[in-house]
Chains A and B, each alone.
Chain A
């Protein structure tokens, strides 16, 4: 009888296996395959004509040149800022590091198109910065944000947290004795940084730099808000314009450009992955959070002042300019008490039907995506950590592709895949909100998988084994042991999915249809139509909402920690 049970379990596994593979093929592999296929076809026959015509087009090369400037420039800014802030936070004895970290992550949490909006308000001719400059002698104008420099600057400020995040961990894991040994051997502070710390931190810095590079390649919001008005195109906005332009062969051209862009992005992802893999050996080392450089009071104060002014100027001040712009009755009026009103807020929250629908749509999309990803992603993560095999590893990599691909590329692949899933049959998915559901789950599933894998990895295998030896391998093992232990990690993964889906712009800008507008899209449309007061008001609401969620999360975390009395995670 027991043998029967065993074979039934094995059959169940077989079914699960086939369902899993089928799911991945239909949702992850086929769309990309179709995109590549379309880029090689013209009127039903195989051709490389799309590539030759796209590559002979002068505007393609101009776009590639712009893309190189934007991606290169913003990555350099991100690396320099990221490494500097990481070094200061990891190694010196400055105060309030936790708060500093919150401010560093702020541009990461707030969608980049809102940051862009904030910067345009900050640098506005009637804005705060211009006002400050006019107080100075001479006539200096604020930076024109609708330019390559503007795009590069906002992108650099938006992506340096990525470099910071990957560098700060690596820096803390370098044993302090290594640098001390260099100092005892006669090297100066600077020499030991140059010859010991920097080379050891290179894997972290490089993989953070690559992430910034990929994020810049993928980014649509910043070049869409700043580049389209100034006729500056990068690959992501160029593809967007091809599709919404509906020119002759526009879909084939867009597919061709997407394959080129997607290829660059996936190559970059591969390099990044190899870098992370190479630096794995430091993974086991413990993070040493004690300061290594005890600065004198005066130096410390100087560094703190510099760091805080940088953080406030790059995060709070633009956001406050945006908030002040949103409170003004009509665009162009000076910021004065008699001009302040909440009527822009009233308009977006209660009067404008599109804005109200978008709030509902985005909330539905975000909740649905987060719940589906939570269940499927955590399941995949469990299999991935408990039964590591080549198959599950391959599955994880394939699931990661839609996130690694630039959003415009994925959106296009989704259109081709779901417009007519089987030639001649249109199930009516494209053109409704359903295609956004599918696209979001495909794109963001990997975020939950990674979050849940991290959560499972922190639970030592013997913790689960102890529950099994104690007689429980089903409901109680999960309810009483595993779920409480993985909960914080899994929930923060789900929250990331929720927020990303809530404020998503790139994919929805191509997949939306009347009635399925998202928050990002409505802000984008307000801005394109010149309604800055509405776009800033709507953005301010979103920022406040995001901050509220994070405050709630921080409180929850505190309560949780107190309940767990978690002084160490080792056992």
Chain B
């Protein structure tokens, strides 16, 4: 099933929660909506679910109009499943009953599934590895198990579109990584389109086919994880996803002169034209390098954080603070005067040789 969002706006009083949103979700696609809290990502998801209606614009599913200003189809009449941030398990029902409920009531249940509901319950429980816990009540489950039940309930009726609202944010860090893998596997097995809302960029990068970065109710950029990470088109995407330092300077073609210093020239082949037009160079912490030599941008180290496999430095350059990640073999201390270089190999020869990426 395909889903289209066309020119959607959503206002709460005078507050503009969503601004001119346009988005296509293809059949079987895993789309992550990424943004800080309050950016409108949850509003967008609730619009897709049918818990909210747009103030203007249209939502289409499967080539049918399902919501505009005057009309909208309630959630129970959409072919969707949803996983909630708080899991939303029903405290008075056991695990099997949770999965049986949508199988009994979902209005798009296929003809094959209808006669074999109990079989499907077993099948889904097996998928999430909960077959042995079917009689348990929610209060007897751990966080990860609750999450599996919530997932199983959502996928059981084989909905065409699966909505996930920060499903991993209530779990601890270790469990989160494990669940990522399970969600990816479920995506491969079910082949449903997934819209996955998150504020965690590593989750989005790891799982999605397509990432939609949102900020202040607007879409900043849409692209594959690699495009979003390596070729941000807005300063927000560069700093939010890649944690990049936004360095001011002058562009001449693909050459960048930080702080307009003609003696220092960085190769900016990979930087998008949008950022070039803003006279910015997005340098991620691992793209920069420190040394004591003379040729480069001068700075002073103001903070050092030891991380084990690398060291995170804060360097004050021309009054601005840059974050630079450096391996542990060269150590600097607070107060050291250093020069900052762009690592040549990242964007230079090695990348060209591999020809893995093509930049606009």
Q: How far is the CB of B197 from chain A (nearest CB, A)?
A: 14
Measured between C-beta atoms, what is the minimum distance from A427 to chain B in Å? Answer: 43
Chain A interface SS verdict (over half): helix
Considering the chains assembled together, what is the distance between the CA atoms of A3 and B108 in angstroms?
21
Residues of B within 8 A of A484 (CB): 92
Q: Is B348's CB within 8 Å of the partner chain A? A: no
Interface string of B87-107 (1 = CB under 8 A from A): 111111100000001101111
Chain B residues whose CB sits within 8 angstroms of the CB of A471 once the complex forms: 76, 102, 105-109, 157
Task: Judge if B138 is at the interface, Cβ distance under 8 Å.
Answer: yes
Query: Do residues B88 and A466 form an inter-chain contact, with CB atoms below 8 A?
Result: yes
Is the Cβ of A485 less than 8 Å from the Cβ of B92? yes
Is A390 among interface residues, defined by CB-CB distance under 8 A? no
Within the complex, what minimum Cβ distance (angstroms) separates A539 from chain B? 40
Contact A565 to B139, CB < 8 A, known contacts A2-B71, A468-B74, A469-B76: yes
Q: A466-B88, A466-B90, A564-B91 are in contact. Are A571 and B146 (CB under 8 A)?
A: yes
Q: Is A566 an interface residue (CB 8 A)?
A: yes
Contact with B along A527-571 (1 / 0, CB 8 A): 000000000000000000000000000000000000111111101
Residue A470 interfacial (CB < 8 Å): yes
Instruction: Across the interface, name the chain B residue whose C-beta is closest to A481.
Output: B90
Assuming the contacts A472-B76, A571-B146, asked whether A465 and B70 have C-beta atoms less than 8 A apart, the reply is: no
Which residues of B are found within 8 Å of A337, using beta-carbon distances? none
- Contact: B49 with A467, CB < 8 Å? no
A430-472: which residues lie under 8 A (CB-CB) from chain B?
Answer: 460, 462-463, 465-472
- The reply to whether B139 and A465 form a contact with Cβ atoms under 8 Å apart is no
Residue B73, interface by CB 8 Å: yes
Tell me the bound Cα distance from A566 to B49 in angstroms: 29
Contact (Cβ within 8 A) B75 A473: yes
Q: Which of A462, A467, A469, A567 contacts B80 (CB 8 A)?
A: A469
> What residues of B have a CB within 8 angstroms of the CB of A571 in the complex?
86-89, 91, 138-139, 146
The answer to whether B88 and A470 touch across the interface, beta carbons within 8 angstroms, is no
Residues of A within 8 A of B107 (CB): 471
Q: Which residue of B lies closest to A560 (CB)?
A: B92
Whose C-beta in chain B lies nearest to the C-beta of A465? B51
Whether A470 contacts B139 in the complex (CB less than 8 A), given A465-B82, A571-B89, comes out as no
- B141-169 CB contact bits vs A (8 Å, 1 = yes)? 00000100000011001000001000000
Chain B residues, Cβ within 8 Å of A568: 139
A296 at the interface (CB under 8 A from B): no
Q: How far is the CB of B75 from chain A (nearest CB, A)?
A: 4
Asked, given contacts A470-B157, A565-B140, whether A463 binds B75 with beta carbons under 8 Å apart, the answer is no
For residue B163, which residues in chain A have a CB less than 8 angstroms away from its CB? 469
Q: Judging by beta carbons under 8 Å apart, are A469 and B49 in contact? A: yes
Whether B105 lies near A470 (C-beta < 8 A) is: yes
In the complex with contacts A469-B75, A484-B92, A568-B139, A3-B70 CB distance below 8 A = yes
Q: Which DSSP category, helix, strand, loop or mixed, fits chain B's interface?
A: loop
Beyond A463-B88, A469-B80, A565-B139, 8 additional pairs, beta carbon < 8 A: A2-B71, A462-B85, A465-B82, A470-B76, A471-B102, A471-B157, A485-B90, A571-B139
Interface: B40 (CB within 8 A):
no
Q: Which residues of B contact A476 (CB under 8 A)?
A: 104-105
Task: Choose one: A463, A565, A569; the contact of B90 (CB below 8 Å).
Answer: A463
Quick one: given A565-B137, A571-B146, are A473 and B157 in contact (CB under 8 Å)?
no
A484 to B90, CA, bound (A): 10
State the Cβ distance, B329 to closest chain A Cβ, in Å: 44
Residues of A near B90 (CB, < 8 A) are 463, 466-467, 481, 485
Q: Is A6 an interface residue (CB 8 A)?
A: yes
The total of interchain contacts (Cβ-Cβ below 8 angstroms) comes to 95
* Residue from A2, A3, A466, A476 with most neighbouring chain B CB atoms (10 Å): A466
Q: A468-B75, A469-B49, A565-B139 are in contact. Are A462 and B88 (CB under 8 A)?
A: yes
Report the Cα distance A484→B70, complex, angstroms: 34
Instruction: Closest B residue to A468 by CB, please name it.
Output: B75
Contacts A/B (CB < 8 Å), 15 sampled = A6-B71, A460-B86, A460-B88, A462-B84, A463-B90, A469-B80, A469-B102, A471-B157, A480-B101, A564-B137, A566-B139, A568-B139, A571-B87, A571-B91, A571-B138
Rounded to whole angstroms, the CA-CA distance of A476 and B100 in the bound complex is 13
**C-alpha gap A334/B153 in the complex (Å):** 71
Tell me which residues across on chain B come within 8 A of A462, comparing CB atoms. Answer: 84-86, 88
Cα distance A478–B85 in the bound complex, in angstroms: 23
Interface residues of A (CB under 8 A from B): 2-3, 6, 460, 462-463, 465-473, 476, 480-481, 484-485, 563-569, 571
- Please judge, given known A-B contacts A3-B70, A462-B84, whether A470 and B91 are in contact too, CB under 8 Å: no
Q: Of A463, A470, A485, which is in contact with the most chain B CB atoms at under 10 Å from its CB?
A: A470
Q: Which of B51, B85, B140, B153 contacts A470 (CB 8 A)?
A: B153
- Closest CB in chain B relative to A218 CB, distance in Å: 38
Residues in chain B within 8 A of chain A (CB atoms): 49-51, 70-76, 80-82, 84-93, 101-102, 104-109, 137-140, 146, 153-154, 157, 163
Shortest Cβ distance from residue B88 to the other chain A in the assembled complex, whole angstroms? 4
List the B side residues contacting A567 at CB < 8 Å: 139-140
Tell me, in angstroms, the Cα distance from A460 to B90 when the chains sit together: 10
Q: Within the assembled complex, what's the spacing in Å between the Cα atoms of A485 and B140?
A: 18
What residue of chain B has the Cβ atom nearest to residue A567's Cβ?
B139
Contact A2–B91 (Cβ < 8 Å): no
Q: For the complex, give the distance between the alpha carbons of A463 and B135 in Å.
A: 20
Give the interface centre of B92, B106, B140, B153 by most chain A CB atoms within 10 Å.
B92
> Could you tell me if B91 and A473 are in contact, using CB atoms closer than 8 angstroms?
no
* A569 near B101: Cβ-Cβ < 8 Å: no
Question: Once the chains bind, are A473 and B76 in contact (CB under 8 Å)?
Answer: yes
Contact of B92 among A460, A465, A564 (CB under 8 A): A564
* Complex Cα spacing A463 to B90, Å: 6
Interface centre among B74, B80, B86, by most chain A C-beta atoms within 10 angstroms, is B86
Q: How far is the CA of A295 from the CA of B140 in the complex (A)?
A: 34
Most chain-B Cβ atoms within 10 A of its Cβ — which of A460, A462, A480, A571? A571
Nearest opposing residue in chain A for B138, CB measure: A571
Q: Which residue of A lies closest to B89 (CB)?
A: A571
Q: List 10 tightest A-B contacts by C-beta distance, closest first.
A: A470-B102, A471-B106, A462-B88, A471-B105, A472-B105, A466-B88, A469-B82, A565-B137, A462-B84, A567-B139
Asked if B106 and A466 sit within 8 Å, CB to CB, the answer is no
The answer to whether A3 touches B71, judged by C-beta atoms less than 8 angstroms apart, is: yes
Closest CB in chain A relative to B120 CB, distance in Å: 14
| B98 CB, nearest partner CB in chain A, Å | 9
Is there an interface contact between B91 and A569, defined as CB atoms closer than 8 Å? yes
Q: Which residue on chain B has the smallest CB distance to residue A473?
A: B76
**A473 CA to B51 CA in the complex, in Å?**
12
Complex alpha-carbon distance, A516 and B176, angstroms: 67
Q: Which residues of B contact A2 (CB under 8 A)?
A: 71, 73
Highest count of chain A CB atoms <10 Å: which of B76, B81, B87: B76
Which of B92, B101, B146 contacts A563, CB < 8 Å?
B92
The distance in angstroms between the C-alpha atoms of A476 and B76, with both chains bound, is 12
Alpha-carbon separation in the docked complex, A571 to B135 (Å): 17
Min C-beta distance of A484 to chain B, whole Å:
5
Q: Name which residue of chain A comes closest to B74, CB basis.
A: A473
Cβ–Cβ < 8 Å partners of A3 in chain B: 70-71
A484→B71 CA distance, assembly (Å)? 32
| B76 with A468: CB separation less than 8 A | yes
Contact of B88 among A465, A473, A566 (CB under 8 A): A465
A485 and B101 contacting across the interface, CB-CB below 8 Å: no
Q: Shortest beta-carbon distance, A505 to chain B, in Å? A: 39
Write the nearest CB–CB distance from A1 to chain B, whole angstroms: 11
A463 to B101, CA, bound (A): 13
Which residue from chain B places its CB closest to the CB of A5 in the assembled complex? B71
Question: Contact: B146 with A465, CB < 8 Å?
Answer: no
Chain A CB within 10 Å — which of B81, B90, B102, B104 has the most? Answer: B90
On whether A485 and B84 interact (CB within 8 A), knowing A470-B102, A476-B105, the answer reads no
Residue of chain A at shortest CB distance from B156: A470
In the bound complex, how far is the Cα of B139 from the Cα of A563, in angstroms? 12
- Residues of chain B with a CB closer than 8 A to A460's CB: 86, 88
Q: How far is the CA of A466 from the CA of B83 in the complex (A)?
A: 8
